[in-house]
Amino acid sequence: MYVDFSIVSRALIDLKDKDIVVCENPKDRIGKLHKLTDLGLQIYNELN
C-alpha cells in the first residue's frame, strides 16, 4: 500500500489544529506518535 506522507502530514496538522489529535513525542523527527484527544475520542465514538 502506497502512502503519500505529505498528505498524511497535512491531515495530522489539520487534526492537531482542531484539537482532535495530539503528538506524544513532538521533539522526535521520525516515528512520531499521535493519539486522540477527548474531543477526538468523542467524535470517534459518535461515528462508530
Within the chain, what is the greatest distance between any pair of CA atoms?
Answer: 33
25 touches 19 (CB < 8 A): no
For residue 23, what are the β-bridge partners?
A: 34
* Per-residue pLDDT, 33: 97
Q: How far apart are CA 4 and CA 27, in angstroms?
A: 22
* Per-residue pLDDT, 3: 85
Q: How far apart are CA 16 and CA 36, in angstroms?
A: 9
Strand, helix or coil at 22?
Answer: strand
| pTM (global) more than 0.85 | no
Residue 26, all three cell numbers: 513532538
How would you write the pLDDT of the chain (48 residues) with one tens digit per residue? 888 989 999 999 999 999 999 999 999 999 999 999 999 999 999 999
